[in-house]
Structure 1
Amino acid sequence: MPVSERQLAAFAEIHSWRIPFDTSPRHLAGPGDARHITHGLAAAGWTPTSDPLSAEIVLRSPDHRHSLQFDPQSSTSAWWRLQAEPATTQHGWYAEFGELVPAEVLAGLTDTLIAPTSGESATLQPVLEGAGWIIDGRGVAYSDPSGCRVERRAENGTGTVPWREPERVSWQIEARGDDELTARGPRLWHAWFDGHAPEHLVTAFVTALIDSAPLQRAMFDRTAHYSAVQQPSPLTPQQVVDAHTTRINAIRAQARAARRQKQPTPATAPATPATARSAARR
């Protein structure tokens, strides 16, 4: 079921009267509007399979391989769960995300997942090094200034793994509101990818996370931490709405183009003898 005009109008109605504030850094911006994620997936043909009267949302991809669950009543710290079923030549995999993960950051991952030209060559280390992150020899990368970390862990749970070691790993990403990145510090939210999750999707998530561009939040929107910096945005409320609509329309067009490419070319019917003789006389 694609995103309807009524659903886009509901998004516009909420955001058209909210004065946007540029909020940074991104990992402290708070959850934002979940429709950045759900509208994008619906525009790509994902359909809801959950009870429409429930707080839980479950969306499933057109090929029924991928599913995304949003459960604000979860008894765990994971409110978002993304899962891929095993395919003929591919492993299944699982990823989860905490309550306060910014919707726009998670949308960076889901937009990559639904892109028809999405390859699996993008790796994370050059992205982190290009952003000035500090990568130690134990398999942990720290943001600079501090506040986030990415940890590579051996799939068998034996501990951190050096970045240049080819062993299959799981990925743990944590955001914190202060300089304390030890296990004793308060964790704001987390993201976790199992050992079979494609690294290019991890890279897409982290790329959106470390983008220096601020996220737009209303004055009284929930942020992940009191130290988030908010300043009046040069964007108008209508520009925020228009940007969302433009992105959704682009995903729709992308999905339509991908469906057309998958449609088989109609076979040309062989000419009947009478038709062939008529063509020969002409």
Structure 2
Amino acid sequence: MSKKQHRGWGVGEQAEQHYLVEPRHLAGGGDVRHVSEFLRAAGWTDQSRTGGPLVFDSPARTVHVAYNPFVRPGGWTITGKANDHEPEWNVTFNPQTPVEIVAGFTDALTKSRSAHAPNPWAPLRQHGWETERAQHFTAVSPDRNAWLQFHQTGEGQAHWWAGARTEHGRTWDAVLTPSTPMHLIEAFSAALADPQPVMRPRGNIPPSRWIRTTSVSVRPSELGAWQQARISAARAATWARNSWASSSPRTHTPTPRPYAAAAGAVRTGR
């Protein structure tokens, strides 16, 4: 594989080989800190115990996020408590769900709702996913290897189901109860359909001929700067929400795309 090196490295800092992986839905689980550090920076309470699963509660203690790798099938469990306006809802992502896709959902938990009416299918159509109307309404990725489906099996029996597969079989699943707030499902579908590649270190690329990779050499300080930019965005957005009354206009703080500088590398098939 060809390798791209970045200019201006500090003296004595050793570059590390990483890969930009696409499509992102086949990239494998990734580093769970991509999710947990954002929640912590957004003011969520870390209830985790040493050697146990990750556990976070929202500031109002209305949403509970956990990641448990010690049980089968394990993975992410997210629960929203019932209130006067919404029933309880539950979401699960298995451990191989790419953290960037999980973060599409969990990042949205930390942000104010948009004024527009949410549409989970819109981000998928925008990026060329095909929608199919049958017993279950389904959107399928351009490579036909990922999907989002509103699955109805009978009166009052429905759930949202997403997942991906390689030539070796299904790699991950996500299940969302129908009571899950629609703006969160839209945020999840936007992350699922995002065509931007995601980064994985050497040795962490799933074995699949359907994955495309770009080899890049990255400094540890550069990785740290990308991670810090994401954390800083969470802190800034949290500070803005806490500093203004609900009637005050707010400026949206976008979550940065950390790998933009690395995306120019020459792609190599895998």
How far has the Cα of 1:17 moved from its partner? Answer: 5.5
Q: Distance in 2 between matches of 1:188 and 1:169?
A: 22
Query: Superposition pairs for residues 105-144 of structure 1, below 5 Å?
Result: 105-119=101-115, 121-138=117-134, 139-144=137-142
How far has the Cα of 1:203 moved from its partner? Answer: 1.7
Q: Distance in 1 between matches of 2:88 and 2:207?
A: 31
Counterpart of 1:33?
A: 31
8 Å contact kept, 1:20–1:218:
yes
Shift in alpha-carbon separation, 1:202–1:73, aligned structure 2, 3 A: same
8 Å contact kept, 1:216–1:233:
no
Counterpart of 2:225?
A: 242
Q: Please, which moves more after superposition, 254-263 or 90-99?
A: 254-263
Q: Distance in 2 between matches of 1:158 and 1:117?
A: 31
Q: Distance in 1 between matches of 2:218 and 2:123?
A: 28
Q: Distance in 2 between matches of 1:74 and 1:194?
A: 22
Residue 149 in 1 paired to residue 132 in 2? no
8 Å contact kept, 2:165–2:171:
yes
Q: Distance in 2 between matches of 1:69 and 1:222?
A: 25
Q: Distance in 1 between matches of 2:171 and 2:17?
A: 26
Bigger Cα Rg: 1
Q: Distance in 1 between matches of 2:33 and 2:207?
A: 18
Shift in alpha-carbon separation, 1:258–1:123, aligned structure 2, 3 A: same
In terms of fraction of residues, the more helix-rich structure is 1
Q: Distance in 2 between matches of 1:56 and 1:223?
A: 24
Shift in alpha-carbon separation, 1:169–1:89, aligned structure 2, 3 A: same
Instruction: Work out which of the residue numbers 25, 45, 48 in structure 1 matches 2:46.
Output: 48
Count of aligned pairs? 231
How far has the Cα of 1:227 moved from its partner? Answer: 3.6
How far has the Cα of 1:53 moved from its partner? Answer: 1.9
Q: Distance in 1 between matches of 2:43 and 2:157?
A: 31
Residue 61 in 1 paired to residue 73 in 2? no
In terms of fraction of residues, the more strand-rich structure is 2
Counterpart of 1:198?
A: 181
How far has the Cα of 1:119 moved from its partner? Answer: 4.9
Instruction: Work out which of the residue numbers 72, 76, 96 in structure 2 matches 1:75.
Output: 72
SS at 2:59's partner residue? coil
Q: What is the TM-score with the length of structure 1 in the denominator? A: 0.74
Residue 95 in 1 paired to residue 78 in 2? no
Q: Distance in 2 between matches of 1:224 and 1:190?
A: 18
Letter in 1 for 2:28: G
SS at 2:139's partner residue? strand
Counterpart of 2:100?
A: 104
Unaligned 5+ segments in structure 2 are 1-13, 247-270
Deviations 1:86-121 (A, max 9, x none): 112222110000111111111121111111354572
Residue 260 in 1 paired to residue 251 in 2? no
How far has the Cα of 1:131 moved from its partner? Answer: 1.7
| Runs of 4 or more consecutive aligned structure 1 residues displaced over 4 Å after TM superposition | 117-120, 234-237
Unaligned 5+ segments in structure 1 are 1-15, 160-166, 179-184, 264-282
Cα RMSD (Å) = 2.4
Q: Distance in 1 between matches of 2:207 and 2:65?
A: 22
Letter in 2 for 1:48: D
Q: Distance in 1 between matches of 2:85 and 2:44?
A: 23
Q: What is the TM-score with the length of structure 2 in the denominator? A: 0.78
